[in-house]
């Protein structure tokens, strides 16, 4: 059957070899299309192709990601226990942390669709526990993307997972206050960094996680807290966790702030990498996250639904979106933005 490229879907199989208008070979007969090959057809200005409707579609990669939901649920429940133990005793059992994280990190190694993992976690109820899971996961990925070996990436992920353990010592009426904090309340919130350092040092010999808990709100230009450190004084894993922490916080619903759109926050992190955040982990994060959005279903502020088909070389943060009726090049339509990204 002849189909316009806007009607193609992952799993469609080509009936013929495909050449562009200049006679350049693009895709061979029998190719089972995925998001990347559909993008390739778009890039070569190919309007119509013949597809074999009798072919079986490929299983969606999201299916394997959704299998992790039960593991995430168990991990969040386990972290709640660690959090409450820290509140009650001022320390936790470090074996509980490793027993929780080691199998989870092993599973993450084989998962490439980080966006769907984040969206799965974002569907959970308790922000504090979900946020810690997201930051641990993202810190692990960022370390891998920067070239750290797996054992070092695990340490970064573990530190990210524990970065907010000090919030167990902050009164819940302050931690969960929906309105603006008073100056005194904000000072108490800021103490979660030193509380976390003390809890981890009381619980483990893991000085890296303790330093990350203490330093994840420090900034390259010295504007952070609690010590006003500058770039050379901040542990590399604290720089990684700082990025994961802000990304997770800005893309999640909190009691005092609605979540922001995922790609928009990446753009904001890029801006902050010139002074506030270390540029190396920030750029590694952005470079590896952007391809994850290709193929994702989105809602535009125009009300249109569609899928991201390619990043835009002229503006990485304004992709090309295929809707039901057109291709929306957001780099040329400044009045339209992505409102929401969906996991399917």
* CATH code for the structural domain at 62-290: 1.10.3210.10
42 neighbors 327 (Cβ within 8 angstroms): yes
pLDDT score for 56: 46
| Residue 304 burial (CB count, 10 A) | 16
Specify the pLDDT at position 303.
94
- Give the 3-state secondary structure of residue 247: helix
Q: What is the pLDDT of residues 9-41, one digit of tens each?
A: 778 889 988 988 888 888 988 888 887 788 788
Among 50, 47, 39, residue whose Cα is nearest residue 16: 50
Helix ranges (H only) for 163-235 are 172-175, 183-190, 192-203, 207-215
- Establish whether domains 2-52 and 62-290 are of one fold: no
Confidence (pLDDT) at 62: 46
Question: CA 117, 119, 123, 126: dihedral to nearest 10 degrees?
Answer: 70
pLDDT in tens, 255-294: 666 788 899 999 999 999 999 999 999 999 999 999 889 8
Distance CA 136, CA 96 (A): 15
Each domain of the chain, given as residue ranges in start order, spans 2-52, 62-290, 294-341
What SS3 state is found at 69? helix
DSSP assignments along 235-246, one per residue: -HHHHHHHHHHH
Q: Read off the DSSP letter of residue 227.
A: S
Q: What share of the chain is helix, strand, coil (3-state, %, to 5)?
A: 50, 15, 35
Structure token digits, residue 275 = 């002074």
pTM of the model: 0.81
- Alpha carbon distance 248, 269 (integer Å): 11
pLDDT value, residue 232: 96
Residues of the chain with pLDDT under 70: 54-67, 123-125, 254-257, 343-344
Q: Give residue 60's pLDDT.
A: 46
Structure tokens at 108: 């993450």
The domain defined by 2-52 folds into Molybdopterin biosynthesis moea protein, domain 2 (3.90.105)
The per-residue pLDDT for 237 is: 98
Task: Of 167, 143, 145, 162, give the one whose Cα is nearest residue 206.
Answer: 162
């Amino acid at each position: 059957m002849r189909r316009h490229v806007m009607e193609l879907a992952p799993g469609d199989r080509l009936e013929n070899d495909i050449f562009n208008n200049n006679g350049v070979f693009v895709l061979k007969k029998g190719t089972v299309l995925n998001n990347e090959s559909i993008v390739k057809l778009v890039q070569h200005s190919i309007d119509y192709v013949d597809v074999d409707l009798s072919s079986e579609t490929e299983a969606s990669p999201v299916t394997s990601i959704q299998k992790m939901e039960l593991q995430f649920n168990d991990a969040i429940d386990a972290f709640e226990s660690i959090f409450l133990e820290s509140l009650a005793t001022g320390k936790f059992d470090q074996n509980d942390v490793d027993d929780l994280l080691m199998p989870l990190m092993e599973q993450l190694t084989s998962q490439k669709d980080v966006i769907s993992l984040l969206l799965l976690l974002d569907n959970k109820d308790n922000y504090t526990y979900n946020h810690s899971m997201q930051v641990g996961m993202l810190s692990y990925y960022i370390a891998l993307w920067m070239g750290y070996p797996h054992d070092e990436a695990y340490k970064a992920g573990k530190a990210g997972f524990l970065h907010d353990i000090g919030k167990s010592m902050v009164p819940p009426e302050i931690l969960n206050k929906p309105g603006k904090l008073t100056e005194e309340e904000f000072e108490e919130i800021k103490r979660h960094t030193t509380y976390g350092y003390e809890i981890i040092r009381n619980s483990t010999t893991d000085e890296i996680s303790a330093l990350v808990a203490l330093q994840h709100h420090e900034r390259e230009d010295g504007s952070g807290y609690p010590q006003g450190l500058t770039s050379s004084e901040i542990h590399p894993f604290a720089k990684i966790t700082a990025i994961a922490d802000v990304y997770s916080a800005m893309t999640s619903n909190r009691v005092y702030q609605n979540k922001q759109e995922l790609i928009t926050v990446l753009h904001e992190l890029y801006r902050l990498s010139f002074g506030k955040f270390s540029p190396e982990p920030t750029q590694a994060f952005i470079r590896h996250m952007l391809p994850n959005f290709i193929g994702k279903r989105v809602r535009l502020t125009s009300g249109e639904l569609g899928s991201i088909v390619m990043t835009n070389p002229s503006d990485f943060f304004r992709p090309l979106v295929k809707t039901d009726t057109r291709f929306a090049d957001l780099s040329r339509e400044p009045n339209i933005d992505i409102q929401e990204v969906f996991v399917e």
